[in-house]
């Protein structure tokens, strides 16, 4: 799949026909054999059928071929006309195929319910003018995650009797449970991986989708800590209907922690092969039948192999959690940070453990061909949490630094660099102010491009560039709308705020199908999402989707039989049907709902009139004066700051070490004592004044030297080593330096198993040579001082040298072909690899079926068939394949007799191995 234009791609084409056939057989539904009529587009007047927010633009879309303006009227619930006017002709709209006008009734701003807009002989569905629904949506969108929890009973006191259910996957019969799960490929151990969220309509739990979803919930809260005027109280303890609502911690962080704890459990334990790495996913051995209540799932659960992407996802969100929980639960904070640092070091030692695109039995593959973005994201989160120079170097040395991810596209589960940029743009760190400004500018530039695309549409949705709507298009639109929200945070320009609410209009009915994609919101709200429990359409005893559930939305690639049968030839924004088996358009997923929850939280905060914002930082505090200096502490005092607009909230004492900043004390007075210092050591401090709008000013620095100790102390313990530049016979280790009262003279690198010194260095870095290829190495570091005293051993780092280079197989291409059959149908997955030394700019795959197989519907390429001969031509986004690169495609087919696989393939006329 193309990472630039196909963010979700065929990741859930894993359900494909084999899963659907099994599901339909279980629930007694027959798969469609002939095309049906497309969904009813509803009234020609398309509105946000929930509510327009007062003080925000109110625009509707009229479908009309008239080339002249059309008269419109707005009536209240009593039928009285309260506003009228003329439409603006917009004309043909490419994404919908409609001829359109725009109706702008923004001048009418009276709150109320039951308004109806009429034009051209048609009337809209009723709607409100009110901020209340978006404020309710903030919590309903977040409630989705409690509904999706694994390993805990979903109680009626929080969700009502309709949605209450027993705990899933705790090993209570018929469950085999998640408490002792073995590896799909033998690894010699089982893990307790209970908890977490079910990812989507199935009952799998996927680390890379859990990563972005958890980050968005945590970031929704963290943003309120650093944006002037943001409302942290709306996400505080007691605001959500969850069991942890009275524990003193913000409820949104409690919900995110349910997933973080699961992610930590997915880490390979110390002492095992791949220690510190994280398993990619855990799910049923085969696809779960539809419907299946989680507690009644009887299948064996299996862990997929570790992956670098999963390891870095865990490292990123655990590091983020660590700083958010630091003062709430220090023990959990430390646990999360230790796991994050171990995972990051393991990923550095194993940078190319990529998830297989063919691991799609029983769960989505979630393959990812590049992890440059995940490395950047994880380094950014670890740096924001620790201030470590090691992580800072990885951030600033990345090609994605200062907004490189946003220059390509925003963010999604497979492209996460923008999450790191967002953190660095919001959370104060030691990065240069100019670099932070450049990162914010990149986000604003991305927002400008997305807004320009939306404003050129009859149904504004800030989608990615291009005319194709991919799987989960609503999630991508929501993510891009979140970038608009950040652009408003950074600039205050009203156009971005308008764009955010326009996206919510699109989700809630102002679209070509008059379809609200948010369950429980609007007259024509989605009900029959693809889900094993919210499966009323398949089993009348089960519920429809609960309020706040967010459908994936239009998908012009039509990657399921229902969509293919009903929607052939659809315009991109009309490729949707509210059907439980139309999984490629109507699935739910945690990463789409997290995007909606972030967006709704921001929109609720900004609903109504915009409050005045304090944009002036406090005055600079006086340069601190040091007194009461001892071997291990110092007291600092300074002249107070002032802030006439919002007042002084407090002061932070910050230790400066190079570019790294560490808050060592916080106070509301003008004096603080810093403890835990090292004797006879120089420290530099600044005092930061904070006002109640979360703006700050820093004092001039002061340098203080602690008094000397009569005892020559040993060096401090070196930091966690990180392996890089790994080859067949060598690697480079770097680690945070030790300190010593008399001076560090050097370091020993030791083999952890037996303590043998394998290298020495006078700096906190060493290049190792002469190592055995394809071998695991576990190393640790100690420091030496001028008196020959040794420090304690650092944490160990594990890495594997690269295997010996083998001669690649002959031929310019390689093809793998797998098929899953059911009845008279099958789904085939094909991976094409360029084994030549030159890149392909385009490709054409050829093969011949040995039987009467027919391609009925394909994805990610164009298929043609003459007799038994099939020709497959690349899609516009996957024609370029570098030397050594691969691309994956697939199709549904029919057959009779035996479904024997083709045995010979060609690419561009050349036979493949």
Question: Which residues are known catalytic residues?
Answer: 202, 530, 578, 587
DSSP string computed for 273-325: TTTT-EESEEEESSPPPSS--GGG--SPEEEPPEEHHHHHHHHHHHHHHHHHS
Q: CA-CA distance, 152 to 158, in Å (whole number)?
A: 13
Cβ–Cβ under 8 Å, residues 16 and 890: yes
Q: Taking the CB of residue 698, how many other CB atoms lie within 10 A of it?
A: 16
Asked if 552 and 588 touch (Cβ cutoff 8 Å), the reply is yes
Contact 201, 587 (CB under 8 A): yes
Measure the CA–CA gap between 766 and 549, rounded to whole angstroms: 52
Q: Considering Cα of 44, then 45, then 46, then 49, what sign does the dihedral take?
A: negative
Note the helical H segments in 729-786.
Answer: none
Torsion of CA 407, 412, 416, 422, to 10 degrees: 70
Give me the residues paired with residue 887 across strands. 832
Give the residue from 384, 425, 333 showing the smallest Cα distance to 663.
384
Report residue 669: phi and psi, to 5°: -100, -170
Partnered with residue 840 across adjacent β-strands are 881
- Neighbouring CB atoms inside 10 A of 632's CB total 15
| Rounded Cα distance, 371 and 675, in Å | 41
Specify which residues 732 forms β-bridges with.
724, 767
CA gap 83, 73 in Å, rounded: 6
Gap between the Cα atoms of 626 and 762, Å rounded? 34
What does the alpha-carbon distance between residue 278 and residue 263 come to, in Å, rounded to a whole number?
A: 8
Instruction: Taking the CA atoms of 157, 158, 159 and 164 in sequence, report the sign of the dihedral they define.
Output: negative
Spatial CA neighbour of 672 closest among 624, 708, 631? 624
Contact residues for 865 (Cβ-Cβ < 8 A; gap 6+): 854, 855, 871
| CB-CB contact of 649 with 683 (8 Å) | no
CB burial string 165-193: b at 16+ within 10 A, e below? bebbbbeeeebbbbbebebbeebeeebeb
H/E segment holding residue 723: strand 722-724
**b/e burial code for range 5-37 (CB count within 10 A of at least 16 → b):** bbbbbbbbbbbbbbbbbbbbeebeeebeeeeee
**What's the rounded Cα separation, in Å, for the pair 489 and 602?**
10
Strand-strand pairing, 886-894 and 869-874 = unpaired
Helix (H, G, I), strand (E, B) or coil at 116: strand
């Amino acid at each position: 799949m193309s990472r630039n234009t196909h963010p979700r791609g065929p990741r859930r084409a894993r359900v494909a026909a084999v899963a659907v056939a099994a599901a339909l057989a279980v629930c007694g539904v027959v798969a469609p054999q002939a095309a049906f009529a497309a969904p009813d587009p509803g009234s020609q007047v398309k509105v946000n059928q929930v509510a327009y927010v007062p003080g925000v633009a109110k625009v509707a879309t009229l479908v009309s071929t008239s080339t002249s303006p059309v008269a419109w009227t707005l009536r209240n619930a009593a039928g009285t006309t309260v506003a009228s006017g003329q439409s603006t002709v917009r004309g043909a709209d490419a994404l919908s195929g409609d001829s359109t006008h725009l109706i702008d009734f923004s001048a009418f701003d009276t709150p109320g319910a039951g308004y109806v807009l009429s034009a051209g002989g048609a009337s809209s569905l009723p709607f409100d003018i009110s901020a209340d629904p978006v404020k309710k949506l903030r919590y309903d969108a977040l409630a989705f995650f409690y509904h999706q929890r694994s390993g805990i009973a979903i109680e009626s006191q929080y969700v009502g009797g309709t949605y209450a259910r027993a705990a899933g996957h705790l090993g209570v019969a018929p469950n085999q449970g998640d408490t002792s799960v073995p590896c799909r490929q033998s690894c010699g151990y089982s893990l307790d991986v209970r908890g977490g969220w079910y990812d989507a309509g199935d009952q799998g739990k996927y680390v890379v989708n859990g990563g972005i979803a958890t980050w968005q919930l945590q970031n929704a809260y963290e943003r309120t800590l650093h944006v002037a005027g943001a409302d942290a109280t709306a996400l505080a303890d007691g605001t959500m209907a969850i069991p942890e609502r009275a524990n003193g911690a913000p409820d949104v962080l409690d919900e995110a922690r349910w997933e973080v704890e699961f992610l930590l459990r997915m880490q390979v334990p110390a002492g095992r092969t791949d220690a510190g790495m994280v398993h990619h996913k855990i799910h049923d051995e085969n696809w779960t039948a539809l419907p299946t209540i989680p507690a009644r799932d009887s299948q064996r659960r299996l862990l997929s192999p570790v992956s670098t992407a999963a390891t870095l996802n865990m490292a990123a969100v655990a590091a983020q959690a660590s700083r958010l929980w630091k003062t709430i639960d220090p023990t959990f904070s430390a646990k999360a940070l230790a796991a994050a640092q171990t995972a990051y070091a393991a990923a550095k030692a194993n940078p190319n453990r990529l998830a297989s695109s063919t691991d799609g039995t029983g769960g989505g593959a979630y393959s990812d061909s590049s992890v440059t973005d995940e490395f950047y994201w994880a380094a950014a989160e670890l740096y924001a949490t620790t201030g470590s120079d090691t992580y800072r170097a990885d951030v600033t040395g990345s090609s994605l630094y200062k907004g490189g991810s946003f220059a390509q596209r925003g963010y999604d589960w497979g492209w996460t660099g923008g999450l790191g940029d967002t953190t660095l743009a919001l959370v104060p760190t030691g990065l240069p102010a100019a670099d932070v400004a450049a990162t914010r500018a990149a986000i604003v530039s991305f927002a400008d491009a997305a807004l320009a695309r939306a404003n050129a549409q009859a149904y504004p949705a800030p989608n990615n560039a291009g005319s194709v709507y991919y799987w989960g298009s609503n999630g991508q639109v929501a993510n891009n709308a979140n970038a608009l929200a950040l652009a408003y945070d950074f600039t205050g320009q009203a156009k971005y705020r308008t764009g955010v609410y326009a996206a919510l209009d699109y989700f809630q009915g102002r679209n070509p199908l008059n379809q609200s994609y948010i369950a429980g919101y609007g007259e024509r709200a989605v009900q029959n999402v693809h889900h094993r429990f919210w499966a009323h359409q398949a089993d009348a005893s089960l519920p429809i989707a609960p309020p706040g559930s967010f459908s994936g939305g239009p998908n012009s690639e039509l990657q399921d039989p229902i969509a293919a049968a009903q929607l052939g030839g659809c315009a991109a924004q009309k490729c949707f049907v509210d059907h439980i088996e139309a999984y490629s358009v109507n699935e739910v997923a945690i990463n789409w709902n997290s995007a909606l929850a972030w967006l709704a939280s921001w929109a609720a905060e900004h609903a109504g009139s915009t409050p005045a914002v304090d944009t002036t930082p406090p005055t600079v505090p006086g340069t601190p004066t040091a007194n009461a200096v001892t071997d291990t502490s110092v007291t600092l005092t300074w002249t107070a700051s002032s802030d006439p607009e919002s007042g002084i909230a407090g002061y932070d004492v910050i230790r400066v070490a190079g570019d790294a900043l560490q808050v060592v004390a916080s106070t509301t007075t003008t004096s603080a004592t810093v403890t835990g210092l090292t004797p006879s050591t120089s420290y530099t401090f600044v005092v930061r004044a904070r006002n109640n709008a979360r703006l700050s000013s820093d004092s001039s620095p002061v340098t203080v030297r602690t008094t000397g100790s009569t005892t020559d102390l040993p060096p401090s313990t070196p930091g966690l080593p990180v392996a890089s530049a790994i080859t067949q016979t060598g690697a480079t280790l770097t680690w945070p330096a030790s300190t010593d009262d008399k001076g560090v003279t050097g370091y020993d690198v030791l083999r952890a198993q037996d303590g043998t010194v394998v290298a020495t260095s006078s700096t906190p870095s060493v290049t190792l040579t002469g190592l055995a290829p394809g071998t695991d190495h576990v190393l640790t570091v100690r420091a030496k001082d001028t008196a020959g005293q040794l420090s304690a051993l650092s944490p160990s780092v594990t890495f594997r040298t690269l295997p010996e280079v083998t001669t690649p197989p002959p031929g310019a291409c390689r093809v793998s072909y797998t098929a899953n059959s059911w009845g008279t149908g099958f789904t085939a997955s094909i991976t094409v690899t360029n084994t030549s030394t030159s890149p392909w700019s385009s490709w054409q795959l050829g093969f011949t079926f040995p039987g009467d197989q027919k391609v009925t519907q394909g994805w990610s390429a164009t298929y043609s068939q003459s007799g038994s001969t099939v020709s497959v031509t690349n899609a516009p986004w996957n024609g370029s394949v570098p030397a050594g690169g691969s691309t994956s495609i697939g199709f549904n087919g029919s057959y009779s007799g035996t479904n024997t696989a083709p045995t010979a393939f060609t690419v561009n006329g050349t036979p493949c191995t």
